[in-house]
Amino acid sequence: MWNKEMSVLLSKGLIILTLVMAVSSVGWFSQCIGMIEEYYYRPFGHVGSCVLGFTVIAFCCALLVFLFMLLNNISKKKIFVPENVKNLRIISWCCFAVAALLAVWGILTFLEIIFLAAFIVGFIGLILRVVKNVFEEAVSIKEENDFTV
């Protein structure tokens, strides 16, 4: 029977799968960049594109690790704790860093799809900031209520 614990377990499994896919993509990522560069403008060469791409992958891996830590706390029934606020803050900043890198990459390559990806990731980062602020307020209310007799 499907319940909250199964949902969290599925989410954790998908995060692990995505992390494995992101790490394994490092091996063939430069070849993909090479194929894309055959058809599009190369403003700073193959090495520059690979450095930007690997930096995006690194931020995404960090994001996935902190997302896993957040879900791990939730599965332990530690919801409104300062650690979750910290995790959400780091996740949102990872989103903003990826959005900035993709925006620069899009400007330099004139690829509209990269601009679209930058916008989507930036928007997700903004939503996560709002959720982080809600969690932060909930933590302060919880701490205040814990001190009330």
- Separation between Cα atoms, residue 122 and residue 28, nearest integer Å: 26
Render pLDDT for 51-91 as a digit per residue (tens, 0 to 9). 888 899 999 999 999 999 999 999 999 999 999 999 999 99
Report d(CA 28, CA 89) in Å as an integer. Answer: 31
* Ranges of the chain with pLDDT below 70: 37, 39-45, 149
pTM listed for this prediction: 0.86
The domain spans of the chain are: 4-147
Question: What pLDDT score was predicted for residue 80?
Answer: 93
**Alpha carbon separation from 43 to 29, 82, 105, 146 (Å, rounded):** 18, 43, 9, 57
Amino acid of residue 96? F
For 88, residues 6+ apart whose C-beta sits below 8 A from its C-beta are 70, 128, 131, 132, 135
